[in-house]
Amino acid sequence: MDDLKSKYLGAIAEAGDQDALETLRLAAVGKKGEVSLKMRELGKMTPEERQVAGPALNALKDEINAALSAKKAALDDAALDERLRSEWLDVTLPGRARPRGTLHPVSQVSEEVSTIFADMGFAVAEGPRIESDWYNFDALNMPGHHPARAEMDTFYMKQPEGSEDRPPVLRTHTSPVQIRSMQAHGAPLRVICPGGVYRSDYDQTHTPMFHQVEGLAIDKDISMANLKWVLEEFVSAFFEVDHVELRFRASHFPFTEPSAEVDIRCSWEGGQLKVGEGDDWLEILGSGMVHPKVLQAGGIDPDQWQGFAFGVGIDRIAMLKYGIPDLRAFFESDLRWLRHYGFVPLDVPTLAGGLSR
């Protein structure tokens, strides 16, 4: 056994490649290798001889296998070193610059608004952009002769063949989502409904498609005072100022009664908008107490529950906050514009860390 040990350990140490090492493995511990043949002879020995020869052969086999594994690892390392030398690459050389993606202002402001209202306990609700005439108009207390139902203001879809109902529409506001939320969840309820809407209008401050967020809160003791507080908190957080003064002006919306337009105190000194100071007023949204007929359409008893609702244009407040002069540029897919006004995608808005980073 000492001769076998010296023979194979020496040969393994001098093996120059993987093929030579494999030949030695087969010669020593393969099925017909010398050590394997020696182990077959154990059956011919007396028990006393096996007690001596068996452990010695097993130790020899283990030692040869260990030497083979160590030599194989050494040959692998040498082959890797040689490959690294032959395939050398300077990884410090400048690579090809990859374009940096940015987040669209509409997406950014939608996240900011959702973050603010989530802190006040509002859930986010969504609905289809193609709506039935009932959800878009009738359920919101808008009579058949209302100007908003005319084709010059609303995009109507093709009338289904054989149907006597009015054709579906591209929703003109996200208020239908309020009706769907009331039907699905009942009262009490606090939701905001952000999303794209469509109207037949196009100029510097209007486009056929734009974005709104509407809010709805329903409970038994809700009043205009609650509405005023919610809007003050929202405007103050969104424009990131400590205090904002709001002015409520009486107005009319079919789905709220009473209704009010909401203005914020601001200054345009030097052509720059400053919210919360100055002597000017800027209209930013509409609001009011939910009309009893709208509550009924949502399956809620107006004798037991009441609530407030409001709606604001996401594109409009994005223009005001970030100084974007033309609404039409939002939808022109100009990469130069997006790189200038876009946001870093991974900077998620938070009230603690800042909304617009």
Question: What does the pLDDT read at residue 54?
Answer: 80
Lowest mean pLDDT among 102-111, 161-170, 326-335: 161-170
Calculate the alpha carbon distances from 267 to 283, 320, 327 in Å: 13, 12, 21
Q: Which of 320, 318, 326 is nearest to 343 (CA)?
A: 318
Ramachandran sector of residue 271 (left: φ over 0; alpha: ψ -120 to 50; beta: rest): left
Predicted TM-score (pTM) of this structure? 0.67
Helix (H, G, I), strand (E, B) or coil at 356: coil
Question: What does the pLDDT read at residue 205?
Answer: 65
Residue 317 CA to residue 140 CA, distance in Å, equals 25
**Residue 98, pLDDT above cutoff 70:** no
The whole-number average pLDDT for the span 330-344 is 86
pLDDT in tens, 254-268: 899 999 999 998 888
- DSSP of 52-118: HHHHHHHHHHHHHHHHHHHHHHHHHHHHHHHHHHHT---TTS--PPPPPP-B-HHHHHHHHHHHHHH
Is the separation of the CB atoms in 291 and 254 below 8 Å? yes
Residue 347 CA to residue 328 CA, distance in Å, equals 26
Calculate the alpha carbon distances from 30 to 22, 59, 68, 132, 180 in Å: 10, 16, 12, 80, 76
pLDDT in tens, 292-331: 999 999 999 999 999 999 999 999 899 888 888 888 888 8
Unique residue bearing structure tokens 């003064």: 245
Q: What is the DSSP letter of 200?
A: S
**Residue 96, pLDDT above cutoff 70:** no
pLDDT in tens, 227-283: 999 999 999 999 888 888 899 999 999 899 999 999 998 888 877 788 888 888 989
Question: What does the pLDDT read at residue 93?
Answer: 64
Question: What does the pLDDT read at residue 272?
Answer: 79
Is the separation of the CB atoms in 228 and 247 below 8 Å? no
Question: What does the pLDDT read at residue 241?
Answer: 86
pLDDT in tens, 33-85: 887 777 777 777 888 887 887 888 788 788 888 888 888 888 888 888 888 88
Q: What is the DSSP letter of 143?
A: -
The whole-number average pLDDT for the span 13-26 is 84
The whole-number average pLDDT for the span 93-115 is 81
- The amino acid occupying position 151 is E
